[in-house]
Every structure is written in C-alpha cells, then in structure tokens.
Amino acid sequence: MEYWNVVVTVHEGYYRRARELLEPLGSVRTTEFFNVLVMQVNDTKAAMEMLKAIMEEKPQAHDAIARFVPVARTFFFSSADEFASKAKEAALAAVGELEGKKFHVRMRRRGFKKRISSMEAETFLDRVLLEELAKRGVAGTISFTDPDAVIAIETVGQLGGLTLFTREELTRYPFLHLD
C-alpha cells in the first residue's frame, strides 16, 4: 500500500466532483472502500487552507466533500496488536500538547472489521494518554464537550495515521468533522 497523509470521505454521488476539487491540492487516489479517497499532499496545513478557500469560493464543494482529515504521523500494521502498539506510540508523541487540556481520541477505521474496534481503540488511547500525563505530574481530562484538542486516528486498510487538532483548528476547518 502506498503512503497517504490525508483521508477524504466523499458524499454519495459526488465522487468525480470531489476528485476534481481535490486534485489541485495533491495526488488523489481511490481506495477499496466506498466513497473514501486518500491523498498525498506536500504540506497538510497549506492543503487545509487551500480547501477552506475552495469551499468559501465554491459553497457547492460542501456537497461533495464530507470529511477531509490530514494526518501528521503514519504507520503500517498487520494485526490488531501491532495497531495498538503503533497507535500508542504515535499518540504518545503528541502527549506534550495535551498538558492541562481537555481532549479525546476519535477513530475512523476502514478495514480490519471485527479485528479492531474503533470504540475500544479510542478508550485505550484515552487511558494511555491520561496515564502518561499523570506520570509527568500534569493534568489532562477526557472531555467530549468543547475539548481543547481532539486526536484523530484514521485507518485505511493496513495504514494508520494520527494527528492532534486544536479547538481553533476544529473551528477553522469545519470539513474535519471529527465528532
């Protein structure tokens, strides 16, 4: 499987239009999953800004693109245990940004049906992050109401990706649709 650093979910019936809108941002590829595209972009922040501008200029773009989620860290996995280990490692790399903050983990899984539970992975990573914050002697709270940050995990087949988004980013980029 080729690397990607953005996962895009497309509204039904708008697949071709979504590809046309996304092509100026980077390389767009199909997946084996219904209405799911992956992309490789040079700069995820710049791509989010470009998509924001496109959606402001062409409001009908909202009809085509349901979610656009860039990831900062990617990892391959071949089993549920390997996923848990690598997702934990990726999440812990972001723990410093969670000190004193309200946060939660949100996962969207494509593939590994009945082998990886999104809800169990979210709960596991929430617990791992809280434990690490406690070891560091700093506070952190799981909150689904107006969190300071959301850690997004996306999987497509055997490739996973993770990014921490701040409250400001969640507001600025409504196409993230993490919750």
User: 179 falls in which pLDDT band (50, 70, 90)?
Assistant: confident
pLDDT at residue 172 tops 80: yes
Question: Could you tell me where the DSSP H helices lie in the chain?
Answer: 15-22, 44-57, 61-64, 80-92, 118-135, 167-172
Q: Give domain status of residue 120, yes or no.
A: yes
Q: Give domain status of residue 163, yes or no.
A: yes
Give the sign of the dihedral formed by CA 142, CA 119, CA 135, CA 103. Answer: negative
Q: Rounded to the nearest 5°, which phi and psi values hold at 155?
A: -125, 145
The chain-wide mean pLDDT, for the chain, equals 96
pLDDT of residue 1: 52
Q: 77 and 138 share a domain?
A: yes
pTM of the predicted protein model = 0.93
State how far the Cα of 127 lies from the Cα of 15, in Å rounded to an integer. 37
Alpha-carbon distances of 163 from 19, 62, 176, rounded to whole Å: 23, 23, 11
User: Can you give the residue range of the structural domain that contains 146?
Assistant: 73-176
Domain boundary among 43, 70, 97: 70
| DSSP-derived pairing of the beta strands 159-166 and 73-76 | antiparallel
State how far the Cα of 7 lies from the Cα of 12, in Å rounded to an integer. 16
pLDDT tens per residue across span 17-65: 999 999 999 999 999 999 999 999 999 999 999 999 999 999 899 999 9
Residues belonging to the chain: 179
State how far the Cα of 37 lies from the Cα of 121, in Å rounded to an integer. 23
Q: Which domain CATH number covers 80?
A: 3.30.2130.30
Q: Give domain status of residue 1, yes or no.
A: no
In DSSP terms, which residues pair with 42 in a beta bridge? none
Q: 58 and 78 share a domain?
A: no
User: How many domains does the structure of the chain reveal?
Assistant: 2
DSSP states of 82-101 as a string? HHHHHHHHHHHTTGGGGTT-
State how far the Cα of 11 lies from the Cα of 65, in Å rounded to an integer. 6
